[in-house]
A and B are shown apart, each in its own frame.
Chain A
Amino acid sequence: MKLYCLSGHPTLPCNVLKFKSTTIMLDCGLDMTSTLNFLPLPLVQSPRLSNLPGWSLKDGNVFLDKTELIDLSTVDVILISNYHCMMALPYVTEHTGFTGTVYATEPTVQIGRLLMEELVNFIERVPKAQSASLWKNKDIQRLLPSPLKDAVDVSTWRRCYTMQEVNSALSKIQLVGYSQKIELFGAVQVTPLSSGYALGSSNWIIQSHYEKVSYVSGSSLLTTHPQPMDQASLKNSDVLVLTGLTQIPTANPDGMVGEFCSNLALTVRNGGNVLVPCYPSGVIYDLLECLYQYIDSAGLSSIPFYFISPVANSSLEFSQIFAEWLCHNKQTKVYLPEPPFPHAELIQTNKLKHYPSIHGDFSNDFRQPCVVFTGHPSLRFGDVVHFMELWGKSSLNTVIFTEPDFSYLEALAPYQPLAMKCIYCPIDTRLNFIQVSKLLKEVQPLHVVCPEQYTQPPPAQSHRTDLMIDCQPPPVSYRRAEVLTLPFKRRYEKIEIMPELADSLVPMEIKPGISLATVSAVLHTKDNKHVLQPPPRPAQPTGGKKRKRASDDIPDCKVLKPLLSGSIPVEQFVQTLEKHGFSDIKVEDTTKGHIVLLQEAETLIQIEEDSTHIICDNDEVLRVRLRDLVLRFLQKF
Chain B
Amino acid sequence: MSFAGTYCVIMDPECSKLLPALCAVLADPRQPVADDTCLEKLLDWFKTVTEAGSSVLLLQENPCLVELLFQVLKPQDLSSGVLSFSLRLAGILAAQENCFQYLQQGELLRGLFGESGPLGRAAWTAPTVRSGWIQGLRSLAQHPSALHFLVGCGALGTIFSLQGDPSLFVASAAGQLLAHVLALCMRGQAEEHPGPQASDWPTCAQQIVDHVEESLRSADSPQVTQALNVLSTTFGHCHSPWTQALWVRLSPLVACLLEKDPVPAAHSLVDLLLSAARSPVLSADCGLWETLAQTLSHLSCTQAGPLALGVLKLQACPQTLRAQAFGVLLQPLACVLEAAAQAPGLPGLPAGTTGDSVVVDTLLSSKSACVGLLCQTLAHVELLQPMPQRPSPWPQAPLLGAAVAVLRFCNGSAAPTSDVGGRLCVILVGCVRVQRAALDFLGTLAQGLGPQELVTQVLAVLLEYLKSPDSSPTVLKKAFQAALRWLRSSPKPSGCCDMDPHSQQFLRELLPVLQKRLCSPCWEVRDSGLEFLTQLTRRWGGQAGFRHTLLASEVPELAEQLLRDPESYVRASAVNAMGQLSSQGLRATSASPEYPGGQQKSLLLDLLHILSADSEGFPRRAVMQVFTEWLRDGHAEVAEDPEQFVARVLQVASQDLDWEVRAQGLELALVFLAQTLGQPASYCPCTMAPPEVAPPGRLAQALQALCRVRLFEFAFRALFDCDRPVAQKSCDLLLFLRARAAPCGNPQDAGSSPNVASAEAALQRWRAGQQGQPQEDLEPEAVMAVLRSVDLEGLRGALAESSDHVEKSPRSLLQDMLATVGTLVENEADCY
Q: Measuring CB to CB, which residues of chain A are less than 8 angstroms from any residue of chain B? A: 250-252, 255-259, 261-263, 265-266, 269-271, 290, 293-294, 296-299, 425, 434, 461, 463-466
| A465/B469 in contact, CB under 8 A | no
Assess A297 versus B468: contact at CB under 8 Å? Given A463-B416, A464-B429.
no
| B426/A258 in contact, CB under 8 A | no
| A299/B469 in contact, CB under 8 A | no
Return 11 A-B CB contacts under 8 Å, by A number. Answer: A252-B470, A257-B521, A258-B521, A258-B522, A258-B525, A262-B521, A263-B516, A263-B519, A269-B554, A293-B521, A297-B523
| B593/A271 in contact, CB under 8 A | yes
| B566/A296 in contact, CB under 8 A | yes
B564 cross-chain contacts in A, Cβ below 8 A: 299
- Determine which of A250, A262, A297 lies in contact with B412 in the assembled complex, contact meaning CB atoms within 8 Å: A250
Assess A297 versus B567: contact at CB under 8 Å? Given A266-B516, A290-B521, A464-B425.
yes
B746 cross-chain contacts in A, Cβ below 8 A: none
| A294/B521 in contact, CB under 8 A | yes
Tell me whether B565 is interfacial, beta carbon within 8 Å. Answer: yes
Bound CA–CA A251/B430 (angstroms) = 11
Tell me whether B799 is interfacial, beta carbon within 8 Å. Answer: no
| B520/A258 in contact, CB under 8 A | yes
Given A266-B554, A297-B567, 8 more contacts at CB 8 Å?
A258-B522, A258-B525, A259-B516, A263-B516, A297-B566, A463-B422, A464-B425, A466-B426
| A299/B516 in contact, CB under 8 A | no
| B554/A270 in contact, CB under 8 A | yes
The residue among B421, B430, B519, B593 with the most chain A CB atoms within 10 A of its own CB is B519
Measured CB to CB, the closest approach of chain B to A286, in angstroms, equals: 12
Bound CA–CA A464/B423 (angstroms) = 9
Measured CB to CB, the closest approach of chain A to B271, in angstroms, equals: 38
Tell me whether B471 is interfacial, beta carbon within 8 Å. Answer: yes
Measured CB to CB, the closest approach of chain B to A530, in angstroms, equals: 49
A265 cross-chain contacts in B, Cβ below 8 A: 519
**Nearest B-chain residue to A261, judged by Cβ:** B521
A464 cross-chain contacts in B, Cβ below 8 A: 412, 425-426, 429
Measured CB to CB, the closest approach of chain B to A254, in angstroms, equals: 8
- Determine which of A251, A252, A256, A261 lies in contact with B519 in the assembled complex, contact meaning CB atoms within 8 Å: A261
| A266/B521 in contact, CB under 8 A | no
| B426/A266 in contact, CB under 8 A | no
Bound CA–CA A594/B517 (angstroms) = 80
Measured CB to CB, the closest approach of chain B to A30, in angstroms, equals: 30
- Determine which of B425, B426, B471, B519 lies in contact with A298 in the assembled complex, contact meaning CB atoms within 8 Å: B519
Assess A297 versus B565: contact at CB under 8 Å? Given A252-B469, A255-B471, A259-B469.
yes
Measured CB to CB, the closest approach of chain A to B566, in angstroms, equals: 5
B471 cross-chain contacts in A, Cβ below 8 A: 255
Bound CA–CA A259/B520 (angstroms) = 7
Tell me whether B515 is interfacial, beta carbon within 8 Å. Answer: yes
* B403-426 to A contact mask, C-beta < 8 Å, 1/0: 000000000101110000111011
Bound CA–CA A250/B414 (angstroms) = 14
The residue among A252, A290, A296, A463 with the most chain B CB atoms within 10 A of its own CB is A463
Measured CB to CB, the closest approach of chain A to B753, in angstroms, equals: 55
**Nearest A-chain residue to B525, judged by Cβ:** A258
Tell me whether B505 is interfacial, beta carbon within 8 Å. Answer: no
B566 cross-chain contacts in A, Cβ below 8 A: 296-297
**Nearest A-chain residue to B421, judged by Cβ:** A463
| A255/B470 in contact, CB under 8 A | yes
Measured CB to CB, the closest approach of chain B to A154, in angstroms, equals: 36
A256 cross-chain contacts in B, Cβ below 8 A: 469
- Determine which of A251, A266, A296, A463 lies in contact with B470 in the assembled complex, contact meaning CB atoms within 8 Å: A251
| A262/B415 in contact, CB under 8 A | no
Measured CB to CB, the closest approach of chain A to B303, in angstroms, equals: 29
By Cβ-Cβ distance, the 3 closest A-B pairs, closest first, are A255-B469, A262-B519, A466-B426
| B415/A463 in contact, CB under 8 A | yes
| A258/B515 in contact, CB under 8 A | no
| A466/B469 in contact, CB under 8 A | no
- Determine which of A259, A294, A463 lies in contact with B425 in the assembled complex, contact meaning CB atoms within 8 Å: A463
Tell me whether B561 is interfacial, beta carbon within 8 Å. Answer: yes
A271 cross-chain contacts in B, Cβ below 8 A: 593
Bound CA–CA A190/B795 (angstroms) = 84
| A465/B422 in contact, CB under 8 A | yes
| B516/A262 in contact, CB under 8 A | yes
Bound CA–CA A434/B427 (angstroms) = 11
Measured CB to CB, the closest approach of chain B to A224, in angstroms, equals: 15
* B505-532 to A contact mask, C-beta < 8 Å, 1/0: 0000000000111011111010000000
B523 cross-chain contacts in A, Cβ below 8 A: 297
B416 cross-chain contacts in A, Cβ below 8 A: 463
* B29-51 to A contact mask, C-beta < 8 Å, 1/0: 00000000000000000000000
Assess A266 versus B515: contact at CB under 8 Å? Given A294-B521, A297-B521, A297-B566.
yes
Measured CB to CB, the closest approach of chain B to A336, in angstroms, equals: 23
Bound CA–CA A257/B519 (angstroms) = 12
| A465/B470 in contact, CB under 8 A | no
| A261/B520 in contact, CB under 8 A | yes
Measured CB to CB, the closest approach of chain A to B402, in angstroms, equals: 19
A293 cross-chain contacts in B, Cβ below 8 A: 521
Measured CB to CB, the closest approach of chain B to A124, in angstroms, equals: 38
B554 cross-chain contacts in A, Cβ below 8 A: 266, 269-270
| A262/B520 in contact, CB under 8 A | yes
- Determine which of B412, B421, B469, B519 lies in contact with A266 in the assembled complex, contact meaning CB atoms within 8 Å: B519
A466 cross-chain contacts in B, Cβ below 8 A: 412, 425-426, 429
**Nearest B-chain residue to A434, judged by Cβ:** B430
A252 cross-chain contacts in B, Cβ below 8 A: 430, 469-470
| A258/B469 in contact, CB under 8 A | yes
A463 cross-chain contacts in B, Cβ below 8 A: 414-416, 421-422, 425
A269 cross-chain contacts in B, Cβ below 8 A: 519, 554, 557-558, 561, 593
**Nearest A-chain residue to B427, judged by Cβ:** A466
Measured CB to CB, the closest approach of chain B to A72, in angstroms, equals: 42
Bound CA–CA A450/B557 (angstroms) = 51
Measured CB to CB, the closest approach of chain B to A276, in angstroms, equals: 16
Measured CB to CB, the closest approach of chain A to B718, in angstroms, equals: 36
Bound CA–CA A461/B414 (angstroms) = 10
Bound CA–CA A434/B226 (angstroms) = 43
Bound CA–CA A293/B416 (angstroms) = 41
Bound CA–CA A265/B564 (angstroms) = 15
B521 cross-chain contacts in A, Cβ below 8 A: 257-258, 261-262, 290, 293-294, 297-298
The residue among A257, A298, A434 with the most chain B CB atoms within 10 A of its own CB is A298
A266 cross-chain contacts in B, Cβ below 8 A: 515-516, 519, 554
| A255/B429 in contact, CB under 8 A | no
Measured CB to CB, the closest approach of chain B to A60, in angstroms, equals: 39
| A251/B469 in contact, CB under 8 A | yes
Measured CB to CB, the closest approach of chain B to A83, in angstroms, equals: 27
Bound CA–CA A463/B566 (angstroms) = 43
Bound CA–CA A250/B519 (angstroms) = 23
Measured CB to CB, the closest approach of chain B to A508, in angstroms, equals: 53
- Determine which of A261, A299, A434 lies in contact with B561 in the assembled complex, contact meaning CB atoms within 8 Å: A299
Bound CA–CA A271/B596 (angstroms) = 13
B516 cross-chain contacts in A, Cβ below 8 A: 259, 262-263, 266
| A255/B426 in contact, CB under 8 A | no
Measured CB to CB, the closest approach of chain A to B431, in angstroms, equals: 11
Assess A262 versus B422: contact at CB under 8 Å? Given A252-B470, A297-B567.
no
**Nearest B-chain residue to A299, judged by Cβ:** B561
Bound CA–CA A298/B562 (angstroms) = 8
A425 cross-chain contacts in B, Cβ below 8 A: 469
* B535-577 to A contact mask, C-beta < 8 Å, 1/0: 0000000000000000000100110010011110000000000
**CB contact list, B418-449 vs A, under 8 A:** 421-423, 425-426, 429-430
Bound CA–CA A109/B273 (angstroms) = 72
**CB contact list, B456-470 vs A, under 8 A:** 468-470
Bound CA–CA A434/B429 (angstroms) = 11
**CB contact list, B567-611 vs A, under 8 A:** 567, 593
B430 cross-chain contacts in A, Cβ below 8 A: 252, 434
| B520/A255 in contact, CB under 8 A | no
Bound CA–CA A251/B470 (angstroms) = 7
